[in-house]
Chain A
């Protein structure tokens, strides 16, 4: 049988630290005393808070049982938790050993010898086992590297289609009939001067894509006020002008029409577009005018598109060609 006193020093104390004599506390030691000035009153307050908290939590149960309104649930539940928590925290803060007590920080770092031992093991073993078989190591590293790259493919490429010309096309074509969100065709007398509506190419008004991409704002302005852009002389018959409703900044619907100033305003970041002057942005972060849809009136008095948009609608992106 071995002699127990011969065990290594690290076995004693906590985690190999120098064992300190553990003192026995006297109850009048200020480290142990309540921080509270009136401990008995503190105890009563804590007890009261526990009792009220329990009642409130039970009240939550009752309120839930009778399907009470949310505010009753919240008040009972919240007050119950707050009171129980307050009591527990106060108990810990005022009636439990506060110290200040001290604990030594042991060095996290190992000794220089231990560090060296680990480094040596790494270096020597690598030198003996890996470096002699450089080719094997290189082959494995190559394989793992290729796998790392290939593994990204299904994670990324399977997610969705490549964009292609997704962002350049809309459902607006030559002769597309303008309809409102309920599919009713827009006639030449649908809007008064100063009127505004959102239109879609017939057939796309109920599709998600139609709502998200094709949405176009149709405004009727007085023909005297409008400044026609060169090359767009025939685009706005009878004062009707149509612009893409997608803001050229971040694609929010340009949903606010300021009639007095003839501005289309994007509520997201306050870009403003001049309705009378080709929807040129005159305020805010939008960089480009809203694309304009060329309109015509057909023989039966319905509004139709002369052609689709001549450029991509909505915000900018790398492949967007300049016009």
Chain B
């Protein structure tokens, strides 16, 4: 009795192992990893949930990686942005530039402009980092748009994922805003002109426009406050909002599990794909590296925003070369093709020619985007939970609407280069302008009709969406020609397999056999599986 009482507390103490074998034995069958998992689990209780996480299934489809491009360009934006923040001076103070870029030497420029030129030319790898940052911003917005198009056309926004659709749309707006604010910071001719236009757009809002403009800029344009203000918005406020929203976006994705395309063994109630660890981890980490690598190549090989060529911003200077980043193109185009309809009366002015294309129209576009899950439900009266994706051709009206919507925005994007097009095609600017004024209505209508028709035709085609196997023609020795289908590609072969739960892998000693396993999904499949041999 007394011995057990005495030894029990002592057993809890750590006994130092004397030999290597004893040390191995003390760690247990899973060695150091087992030890670490055990220690962590005792403190945080990670083992059960962690095991589930390792087995978490991610459906495989190329289009599911579009959002990853956005995520990883955001990672690059943060990394390069931290670098830039160490050198950039957010100030409109006038300084005399002295530095390695001789054409600007001795000129009066703002501190923001001078520090941007300096970090490009005098800081090691500064130009690479700055151009990577700018490219990553362009890729960030672009990949969000394409990711959103995938979500839209496959119906992934339907219940229960409406919240994530709204968060995603908010992220797009935040990304566009922060992109614009970002390229407004260096105080070069492009930024200044962009800011001048933004100021005038704010002014155009009825009742409160002039107040909003003077509040934001701290007075009349340009003032000296806007650069430090935009700096803190650009590098703290908006990135924090974006990071939190991305966190919620991914949290909801994990909680609600990813959608999947219909296929063998895939239902509304399961997820079929490859496991989180190690397969998905390897692929997605590799993809992070590849996105960063592509952005690094762009950042060092493809010049972007060479502010030293534009020069420091002076309010009375302007150049034809001044163009916004691509995601502003549709708004610029809308401003160009809008007729000059200003309303005046009773001592007031309502500048429709600015207020409609720059405030009301983008407001309408984003409200349609936000409300689309609701709008569609009004028509379909569909209140079911959806985990299987639509093929776009199977929802011709939605697909046609989305295509028409994008077509309209694309026409406006092209309209932002009326002057370039007129020059290039040797037609008068007048013709180009009126062409776009009609095209912005006609092209979406034609796109709607054409898309709807194509969807309906595709529905009738047999074997649509399946990869066709090539026919191999061989001539025999006797001169006879034969055709045979070529071997299925590895990926296609895999799609035909019956999905099974993630198995436990056991390293086999030579000569040891594993008992025949029974598939929990369908006992008869085991035999079928074994027919597929390399």
Chain A residues near B (Cβ < 8 Å): 14-15, 20-37, 64, 67, 70-71, 73-75, 77-93, 96-105, 108, 156-157, 159-163, 166-167, 181, 198, 208-209, 211-213, 215, 245, 249-253, 255-256, 266-271, 281, 283-288, 314-322
Question: Which B residues between 418 and 468 are near A, CB-CB below 8 angstroms?
Answer: 418-419, 429-430, 433
Q: How far is the CA of A31 from the CA of B500 in the complex (A)?
A: 8
Which one, B268, B297, B339, B493, contacts A78 given CB within 8 A? B297
Q: Is the interface of A mostly helix, strand, loop or mixed?
A: loop
The smallest beta-carbon distance between B217 and chain A, in angstroms, is 7
Checking B281, B294, B336 against A82 with a beta-carbon cut-off of 8 angstroms, the contacting residue is B294
4 nearest CB pairs, A to B: A74-B300, A85-B289, A92-B282, A81-B293
Whether the pair B220, A213 counts as a contact (CB closer than 8 A) is: yes
B294→A35 contact, CB < 8 A: no
Known: A23-B503, A64-B124. A156 touches B316 (CB 8 A): no
User: 9 other contacts beyond A14-B52, A103-B501, A181-B316, with CB at 8 A cut-off?
Assistant: A70-B125, A70-B128, A73-B128, A101-B499, A212-B316, A250-B200, A252-B193, A267-B320, A286-B353
Q: Does B286 make an interface contact (CB < 8 A)?
A: yes
Cβ-defined contact, B255 with A90, below 8 A: no
User: Complex: how many Å from CA A280 to CA B228?
Assistant: 38
- Give the docked Cα–Cα distance between A270 and B508 (Å): 75
A287 CB to nearest chain B CB (Å): 4
Q: Most B CB atoms within 10 A — which of A30, A97, A266?
A: A30
CA distance A130 to B530 in the complex (A): 67
> Which residues on the A side are within 8 Å of B515 (C-beta)?
24
Chain A residue numbers with a CB within 8 Å of B55 are 14, 101, 103
CA of A123 to CA of B264, assembled, Å:
46
**Is B322 interfacial (CB 8 A cutoff)?**
yes
Chain A residue numbers with a CB within 8 Å of B533 are: 28, 30
Q: Which residue of A is nearest B513, CB measured?
A: A26
Contact among A64, A91, A101, A269 with B336 in the assembled complex (CB-CB below 8 Å) = A269
Q: A198 to B300, Cβ gap below 8 A? A: no
Do the beta carbons of A317 and B203 come within 8 Å of each other?
Answer: yes
Is the Cβ of A36 less than 8 Å from the Cβ of B490? yes
Of A24, A86, A101, A251, which one neighbours B200 at CB under 8 angstroms?
Answer: A251
Instruction: Please determine whether B429 and A102 come into contact, CB atoms closer than 8 angstroms.
Output: no
Residues on A with beta carbons closer than 8 Å to the beta carbon of B375: none
CA separation between A287 and B344, bound complex, in Å? Answer: 11
B197 touches A252 (CB 8 A): yes
Closest Cβ–Cβ distance, residue A311 to chain B (whole Å): 11
In the bound complex, residues from chain B placing their C-beta under 8 Å from that of A84 are: 286, 289, 293
Q: Which of B57, B221, B264, B500 contacts A212 (CB 8 A)?
A: B221
Point out the residue from A21, A97, A108, A255 that lies within 8 Å of B279, measured CB to CB: A97
**In the bound complex, what is the Cα–Cα distance between A134 and B282 (angstroms)?**
58
Asked whether B335 is an interface residue with its Cβ less than 8 Å from the other chain, the reply is yes
Q: Considering the chains assembled together, what is the distance between the CA atoms of A12 and B419 in angstroms?
A: 69
Contact B48 A286 (CB under 8 A): no
Q: Contacts A74-B301, A85-B293; is A166 near B214 (CB within 8 Å)?
A: yes
Contact B340 A285 (CB under 8 A): yes
- Does A208 lie within 8 Å of B124, measured CB to CB? no
Contacts A89-B286, A105-B269, A250-B335 given; indicate if A283 touches B430 (C-beta within 8 A). yes
At the interface, yes or no: B332 with Cβ under 8 Å from chain A?
yes
Q: Check A24 against B296 for contact (C-beta < 8 Å).
A: no
Is the CB of B519 closer than 8 A to any CB of chain A? Answer: yes
Interface string of B216-233 (1 = CB under 8 A from A): 111111111100000000
With known contacts A71-B300, A105-B269, A318-B209, A23–B290 Cβ distance under 8 A: no
Given known contacts A15-B52, A250-B335, is B209 in contact with A317 (CB within 8 Å)? yes
Considering the complex, give the chain B residue whose CB is closest to the CB of A167: B210
The yes or no answer to B494 lying at the interface (CB within 8 A) is: yes
Complex interface: stretch among B6-14, B22-30, B270-278: B270-278
Question: By the criterion CB–CB under 8 Å, are A212 and B300 in contact?
Answer: no
B315-357 near A? 1/0 per residue, CB < 8 Å? 1111110100000000010011011111011011111011000
Q: Is the CB of A285 within 8 A of B338?
A: yes
Residues of A within 8 A of B278 (CB): 92, 96
Check B534 against A100 for contact (C-beta < 8 Å).
no
Given A23-B517, A35-B494, A100-B265, A315-B219 contact (CB < 8 Å): no
B289 with A283: CB separation less than 8 A: no
When chains A and B are docked, how far (Å) is the Cα of A101 from the Cα of B257?
14
